[in-house]
Amino acid sequence: MKIKVKISRTNDEKEIQMKKRSTVLDLLNKLIIKPDTVVVLNNKIPIPIDSELKDKQEITIIQVFSGG
């Protein structure tokens, strides 16, 4: 299945080929992105990393910044 991914930090948009029953965590691992450094959105709504992806789903990945 293909997932459309937009990475907000770089404004990159990619189509990523994933296996059926892949999760958001699988996608992040494929993109070499640490899960604790980003928020993943589906239709502008945050989704957990254990959510199963669907074919032709559009995902946005936003890098989280913190400091004190």
Q: Write down the pLDDT at residue 61.
A: 97
Q: Write down the pLDDT at residue 59.
A: 96
Q: Percent of the chain at pLDDT above 90?
A: 85
Q: Which residues contact 33 (CB under 8 A, 6 or more apart)?
A: 61
* Residue 24 contacts residue 15 (beta carbons within 8 Å): no
| Range 9-36 average pLDDT | 94
State the Cα–Cα distance between residues 68 and 60, nearest whole angstrom. 26
Architecture of domain 2-63: Roll (3.10)
* Residue 22 contacts residue 10 (beta carbons within 8 Å): no
Chain mean pLDDT for the chain = 93
As given in the structure block, the two tokens for residue 58 are 């559009």
* Residue 4 contacts residue 58 (beta carbons within 8 Å): yes
